[in-house]
Structure 1
Amino acid sequence: MKLLTYTYSKQEINERFEKVRQQVFIHSKQIKTDNFQVVSNNDVKLIFNLYDTYFFDTYFKENKVTEKMAFDFSKKMTSAGGKLMYYKVTNQNPIQFRMRISAYLIFNSFKNDSSKPVNLAGFETKNRLEALMHIIEHEIIHLIEFLAFNNSSCKKDNFKKLASSIFGHTAFTHSLLTGKMEALKEYDLKIGDWVDFSFDGKKHKGFIQKITKRATVMALDEKGMYKDNKGNHFTKFYILLKYLKKMDKKPI
Structure 2
Amino acid sequence: MKIIIGYKYDKETIEKKRAYIFNELIKASVNIKTGIIKDISISDLKILFELYDSIFLSNWFKDTFKGSFKFSLSKRMTKSAGLTLCPKNINVLNPENIVIEFRIGVNFFFQYDLIDRTKIVCGIETNNGLEALQLVLEHEICHAIEYLYFYKSSCRGDRFKTIANNLFGHTNSYHQLPTNKELAMKKFDLSIGDKISFIFKGKKLKGIIYRINKRATIMVQDKNGQYVDKQGDRYVKYYVDLNRIVK
Q: What TM-score does the superposition give when structure 2 sets the normalisation length?
A: 0.89
CA offset digits 1:32-52 (Å, max 9, x no partner): 111131110111111010000
Give yes or no for contact 1:81–1:101 (8 Å, CA) kept in 2: yes
Aligned equivalents of 1:227, 1:155: Cα separation in 2: 36
Structure 1 unmatched runs, 5+? 247-252
Task: Kindly indicate whether residue 28 of structure 2 is the aligned counterpart of residue 27 of structure 1.
Answer: yes
3-state DSSP of counterpart to 1:195: strand
Q: Does 1:155 align with 2:156?
A: yes
Relative to structure 1, is the Cα distance of residues 103 and 160 closer, same or farther in structure 2, using a 3 angstrom cutoff?
A: same
Per the alignment, residue 134 of structure 1 pairs with: 135
CA offset at residue 156 of structure 1?
A: 1.4
- Asked if 1:107 is matched to 2:101, the reply is no
The one-letter amino acid paired with 1:235 is V
Amino acid at match of 1:19: Y
Q: Deviations over 1:9-65 (max 9, x none)?
A: 111001100111111011112111111311101111110100000001001001135
- Whole-Å separation in 1 of the counterparts to 2:69 and 2:53: 13
Residue 171 of structure 1 and its aligned partner are, at CA, apart by 2.2
User: Is the CA contact (8 Å cut-off) linking 1:79 and 1:105 kept in structure 2?
Assistant: no
Q: Secondary structure at the match of 1:83?
A: strand
Matched, 1:81 2:81: yes
Contact 2:37 2:109 in 1 (8 A): no
**Unpaired stretches in structure 2, ≥5 consecutive residues:** none
1:175 is matched with which residue?
176
Q: Which residue of 1 aligns with 2:192?
A: 191
Moved over 6 A (4+): none
Identity of aligned pairs, percent? 38
- Change in Cα spacing, 1:135 to 1:226, as seen in structure 2 (3 Å) is same
CA offsets 1:40-91 (integer angstroms, 9 cap, x no match): 01111110100000001001001135x5110111111111010000125779
Task: Provide the rounded CA distance (Å) in 2 between the counterparts of 1:117 and 1:24.
Answer: 24
In structure 2, distance between residues paired with 1:26 and 1:154: 32
**Structure 1 residue 206 and structure 2 residue 207: aligned?**
yes
Q: Tell me whether 140-149 or 1-10 shows the greater mean CA deviation.
A: 1-10
> In the aligned structure 2, how far is the partner of 1:154 from the partner of 1:206?
38
1:59-74 alignment to 2 at 5 Å? Answer: 59-65=60-66, 67-74=67-74
Amino acid at match of 1:168: G
SS in structure 1 of the partner of residue 208 of structure 2: strand
SS of equivalent to 1:5? coil
Contact 1:116/1:126 (<8 A) preserved:
no
Give the TM-score normalised by structure 1.
0.87
Q: Report the equivalent of 1:250.
A: none
